[in-house]
A and B are shown apart, each in its own frame.
Chain A
């Protein structure tokens, strides 16, 4: 019985409410069309005024309100529990000290990553820095440091003689956190004049070529590189190197011929060592196939 009743109850006859009241513009009288268009224009005008008012209001709010403080207030519910760092010579502790991140209760949303990045990149040893939040409680700091290719000694009024490092782009900086053996193994740079501007050393011109030569020597003739004590730009553009084997070795500043020049130098050294000849005073590798070698005894 129940389903029968339900069927009867569900039956519905059509009413006037089922008649579609949508109307097309062509069915309207001219009066109605004018009225409708006027109404739409009014609505559009009101919408426009509201939109402009909203935009002006938002602009005024952003100009008067300190948005950063508002954001930091809103994010105090995410304390930092872990800070992960990735760097070369600069250690984890140094980074935390430098960025004042040793305190308690730091908020992940409250810290200003852009400001920290700017602070890190203003340190001469750092090429670039990346900071990232990993929710809910970890901060990642990745630092790319300069690669020193040579060292240079400078006189400081307060500290006396200080050792500075020079990278492949000629940037001079006071290295921090490097292993002393690594610094000691670097050749000294000579024949240059350090200039300061706004408390910072100006980059050294011509270092790109020196860096390429040193890099090439390090990779294909490490036994030669290890004996190099001084690299000088005194005869720029030629590169002058002083080593245990020769007082002066002059390289032509041509990256394509560095391999050839190093091979010739290696041959000359082997030749001299094999014949127990006296110490070489000067090797000029700039003349390509002709390599004049001056021995100490000849000069004396």
Chain B
């Protein structure tokens, strides 16, 4: 007998706070039972710059979701992204110790411990140790236990961030008298929803372009090989338009939404569009080519930054599964084409269809959906481990839950 648990996936973004509530029934299935959203204040480029404004917005969204669902939240899965999220590969190798040269659990634990033991600088906190496939005598293996070999290598992609900034985001949730069960990089949450297992095995790249930051996660052999975040997003495109075409930021944002394209479609430089389209004083014609060119340059730059951060993992031959694009920044026309031009691999817009229907299929809920999926996986794992350890006592305890 399991008690259902209500978990919340919360994304405190630059443009919005999105909250989704999921009910985990019997530790196996997930029902989405509530949704809350509010515009975001006090967040810039993914970082919290005004605690009280950010708290008010986040709490309003959480309260809205709780009221809609009519339940109390038991635990929170929180997404993080922003300027200071970084990552590095952590590798280690050990000689197989047993006389029969078969890998033991002790060998695995030892090599994992050494690989994960790299010390970080002051105020840095590890968010994830993303395990890559093991190598046993230079051959890739998923589970090396009991396999024969001489040298076992483990590799992790360690994602870390500024402990104080992560703490700020967590304390906003704590301020609503809720406990953060897990902190998850936005890109990983998105990747778990929009990329299929097949794409992850063959090699794919997930890019989530938000308003203030861009998150990315590259998958290969079914595992995340590289993931990170950097402070460039849709706002920078609007900002470039505003400066380049000499207009207010709001006007640039509007122009981007109405005529924006991530590649130059209109090569005729005389083709123009009206800035405000109200024919009043201040309204003026803007060359469409200029708009598209500025956007193309900026979007290309964003993709090139991702490619640079991926290093050899960004090469087209490593991305047969293609590039999957998500987030508000990819709402522009021809963004897939722009990404294909940079990465030399097929690109598509991400879709939450595997997990949700209706409004929840929109990419703005990808992160929150991904967080709930992580919560479900964590619950499954806990149940499996708890079941093995607790046995009869666990079942007895379950009766009273």
Instruction: Give residues in A with beta carbon < 8 Å to B.
Output: 5, 8-16, 18-23, 27-29, 31-32, 35-36, 39
Contacts and interface: CB of A to CB of B under 8 A. Distances in A.
B342 interface: no
B59 A13 contact: no
Closest 5 pairs between A and B when the two form their complex, measured CB to CB: A11-B117, A23-B174, A9-B113, A15-B126, A32-B176
B124 interface: yes
Contacts of B110: 5, 9
B127 A8 contact: no
B113 A19 contact: no
A27 B117 CA distance: 34
B56 interface: yes
Nearest to B80: A16
Contact of B126 (A13, A20, A32): A13
A27 B170 CA distance: 12
Given A18-B125, A21-B170, A29-B56, A13 B175 contact: no
B355 interface: no
B63 A31 contact: yes
Interface string B143-175: 000000000000000000101001100110011
Contacts of A13: 116-120, 126
Interface string B106-126: 000110011011111000111
Contacts of B170: 16, 19, 21
A21 B171 CA distance: 7
B130 interface: no
B55 to A, nearest CB: 5
Given A16-B125, A16-B127, A22 B174 contact: yes
22 contacts: A8-B114, A9-B113, A13-B126, A14-B163, A16-B125, A16-B127, A16-B166, A16-B183, A18-B163, A19-B163, A21-B170, A21-B179, A23-B174, A23-B175, A27-B171, A27-B174, A28-B177, A29-B176, A31-B59, A31-B63, A35-B176, A39-B177
Contact of B177 (A10, A14, A20, A35): A35
Contacts of A8: 113-114, 117
Main SS at interface, chain B: helix
A32 B172 CA distance: 10
For chain B, give the interface size range: 20 to 34
B180 interface: yes
Nearest to A27: B175
Given A8-B113, A13-B116, A32 B183 contact: no
B113 A14 contact: no
Given A16-B166, A23-B177, A29-B52, 9 more contacts: A14-B120, A15-B126, A16-B125, A19-B167, A21-B170, A21-B171, A27-B175, A31-B56, A32-B177
A105 to B, nearest CB: 40
Contacts of B51: 27
Contacts of B117: 8-9, 11-13
A20 B56 CA distance: 21
B59 A16 contact: no
A131 to B, nearest CB: 45
Give the residue among B60, B113, B161 with the most A Cβ atoms within 10 A.
B113
A23 B171 contact: yes
Contacts of A16: 125-127, 161, 163, 166, 170, 183
B175 A29 contact: yes
A23 B163 CA distance: 16
A27 B176 CA distance: 9
Nearest to B161: A16
B125 A19 contact: yes
Contacts of B174: 21-23, 27
Give the residue among B126, B175, B176, B179 with the most A Cβ atoms within 10 A.
B175
B244 to A, nearest CB: 40
A22 B177 CA distance: 9
Interface in B253-271: none
Contacts of B179: 21
Interface in B52-80: 52, 55-56, 59-60, 63
Contacts of B55: 27-29, 32
A22 B126 CA distance: 20
Give the residue among A10, A14, A20, A39 with the most B Cβ atoms within 10 A.
A14
A14 B158 CA distance: 12
Contact of B59 (A12, A20, A32): A32
Contacts of B118: 13
Nearest to B173: A21
A33 to B, nearest CB: 9
A191 to B, nearest CB: 81
Contacts of A32: 55, 59, 175-177
Contacts of A14: 120, 124-126, 163
A6 to B, nearest CB: 9
Contacts of A19: 125, 163, 166-167, 170
Give the residue among B110, B118, B124, B125 with the most A Cβ atoms within 10 A.
B125
Contacts of A23: 171, 174-175, 177
A234 B104 CA distance: 112
Interface string B299-342: 00000000000000000000000000000000000000000000
Contacts of B124: 14
Nearest to A5: B110
A29 B41 CA distance: 14
B339 to A, nearest CB: 31
A165 B354 CA distance: 106
A36 B174 CA distance: 11
A188 to B, nearest CB: 80
A153 B183 CA distance: 101
Nearest to A28: B175
A9 B118 CA distance: 10
Interface string B82-106: 0000000000000000000000000
Nearest to B111: A9
A159 to B, nearest CB: 73
A204 B114 CA distance: 100
A180 B301 CA distance: 127
Contacts of A36: 177
Nearest to A18: B125
B126 A31 contact: no
A22 to B, nearest CB: 7
